[in-house]
Amino acid sequence: MIALSLADISKVVDGALHLAGASSATDLVDGSVQTDSRLVEPGSIFIAKPGAVTDGHLFAPAAAASGAALLIVERLLDLPVTQIVVADAVAALGALASAVVARVRSAGKLKIVAVTGSNGKTTTKNLLRSMFERVGVTVAPQGSFNNQVGAPMTMLEVTDDTRFLVIEMGASSEGAIANLVRLVRPDVGIVLTIGLAHAGEFGDLDATVRAKSAMVTDLLPTDVAVLNADDPRVAQMAAITPARIVRFGEYGQVDVRASDLHSGRTGTTFTLHLADGQSAPVVFPVLGEHHVMNALAAAAAAEVLGVSLGDIVAALQATTRAERWRMEVLGGKDNVTIINDAYNASPDSMSAALKTLAQIATPGCRTIAVLGEMAELGELAGEEHDRIGLLAVRLNISQMIVVGQRARRMHISTINEGSWDGESVYVDTPDEAFELVRSSVNPGDTVLVKSSNSAGLRFLGDRLGDLFS
């Protein structure tokens, strides 16, 4: 974190400063900010946030023992460390992050891009980081740090040398994105897609649209909203933002687009067209044609902030995977390909993954889909799992292995379709699925492992990747 005095931090987080030992309110703190006591180093700030399972205050002694210079707590603790007592530790984290970004930004060179959407956020964030790093110092989240804790933790990594900050914004509830937008104040806001991911939390698509729209409604006229013109729910956000609009997509009147798409087992080739009229061929190694839309979104934002076409193309061509456990290509032994895409799953991403599996199959060899639950769909879960089962039949997937009770309707729907005879198998556990694939896979087969994170199939994908590596 940039250096701030204890007095400044106390004021920013609206807390009561309790000095310990020889500490003074003018003392500067510039260590890392942590919510995990195991990551605390000498000089760190430890924020004792309450959690769903435990309470960060229980780990404050460990943070103090590791050399924390400051504890931000919701109650004063009997520890020989300077503390700031606040009403809400998570709100204090956000306020501190917002103040740090504002101070760095006041120097005039920091530009901020925020990205949201039902699918593709992490891939787009990674592409943006790769593009911006070719121009200047860039801060972007590791993994999917996109909530009320993860996003501020990323924000706190900026320094006076940072030129670009990329923030991924997830929406666990209505108002979550709006709060993050107020904290970071992006120069460019990207909205990728509106789909059924998290439908169980929002209730319906209209609520999802309202939540995601917060990305663009609070932008300034000098800011830019980058919108997916191919998604009608995203495209309509152009009417509710004061920002300048940059549209991306494959169809219609758009500013940034792709043409001449050709997908295969090694990725997708296409021609990238930027808003300024420049174009260039791209060999994009990320598997799955659906990831081209993420590439277009990143390219649109990068162009807005001055990244050259050459650097944009170089970044795309250097990206070999979307992210760990996202369309990650493993295996290779006996020409068996394992696609591990089991970090997240929504109806849209499940459909895209199955279509990619069918599209890249080796002629004369089988396609095997090992599928688990799509979580957080609420009352839509049953019909959406049915729909995926039917899609697998219609795509002529050679073998489907459904794992876990919560995904079982995919198996039932394939049987009810009546066009298959034994091509779908149900098992209770990932171990059973592993043995089934191990004993039945043939040289040249392509295996997709796809589920929500909660189903745990990503580790099954890793095991299969190791088996055929």
Q: What is the pLDDT along the chain (469 residues), one digit of tens a residue?
A: 999 999 999 999 999 999 998 999 999 999 999 999 999 999 999 999 987 778 999 999 999 999 999 999 999 999 999 999 999 999 999 999 999 999 999 988 999 999 999 888 989 999 999 999 999 999 999 866 788 899 999 999 999 999 999 999 987 677 889 999 999 999 999 999 997 655 545 556 777 888 889 999 989 999 999 999 999 999 999 999 999 999 999 988 899 999 999 988 889 999 999 999 999 999 999 998 999 999 999 999 999 999 999 999 999 999 988 777 788 999 999 999 999 999 888 899 999 999 999 999 989 999 999 999 999 888 889 999 999 999 999 999 999 999 999 999 999 998 887 655 678 999 999 999 999 999 999 999 999 999 998 898 999 999 999 999 9
User: CA 344 to CA 119: how far, in whole Å?
Assistant: 9
Cα 395 to chain centroid, rounded: 28
268 annotated binding-site participant: no
Q: CATH classification of 328-467 is 3.90.190.20, yes or no?
A: yes
Identify the burial level of 244 via C-beta atoms within 10 angstroms of its C-beta, where 0-12 means exposed, 13-18 middle and 19 or more buried: middle
Angle at 209 (CA atoms; ends 203, 214), nearest 5 degrees? 120
User: CA 57 to CA 71: how far, in whole Å?
Assistant: 9
User: CA 308 to CA 305: how far, in whole Å?
Assistant: 9
Q: Structure tokens of 283? A: 């060999």
CA end-to-end span of the chain:
41
Q: CATH classification of 107-318 is 3.40.1190.10, yes or no?
A: yes
Identify the burial level of 163 via C-beta atoms within 10 angstroms of its C-beta, where 0-12 means exposed, 13-18 middle and 19 or more buried: middle
Question: What pLDDT is attached to residue 251?
Answer: 84
Contacts of 293 (CB under 8 A, 6+ apart): 120, 192, 193, 228, 230, 248, 249, 250
User: CA 102 to CA 329: how far, in whole Å?
Assistant: 40
Q: Which of the 8 DSSP states describes residue 336?
A: -
Question: What pLDDT is attached to residue 37?
Answer: 95
Angle at 126 (CA atoms; ends 131, 191), nearest 5 degrees? 95
452 annotated binding-site participant: no
121 annotated binding-site participant: yes
Task: Show contacts of 46-54: CB within 8 Å, 24+ apart.
Answer: 46/70, 46/71, 46/72, 47/71, 47/72, 47/89, 47/92, 47/93, 48/72, 48/73, 48/74, 48/77, 48/89, 49/89, 49/90, 49/93, 49/149, 50/74, 50/89
Query: For residues 7 and 17, is the Cβ–Cβ distance under 8 A?
Result: yes
Question: What pLDDT is attached to residue 201?
Answer: 57
364 annotated binding-site participant: no
Query: For residues 224 and 246, is the Cβ–Cβ distance under 8 A?
Result: yes
Question: What pLDDT is attached to residue 323?
Answer: 74
123 annotated binding-site participant: yes
Question: How many residues are given for the chain?
Answer: 469
Identify the burial level of 238 via C-beta atoms within 10 angstroms of its C-beta, where 0-12 means exposed, 13-18 middle and 19 or more buried: middle
The model's pTM is 0.89
450 annotated binding-site participant: no
- The CATH classification number of 4-87 equals 3.40.1390.10
Question: What pLDDT is attached to residue 418?
Answer: 64
| Domain residue ranges in the chain | 4-87, 107-318, 328-467
11 annotated binding-site participant: no
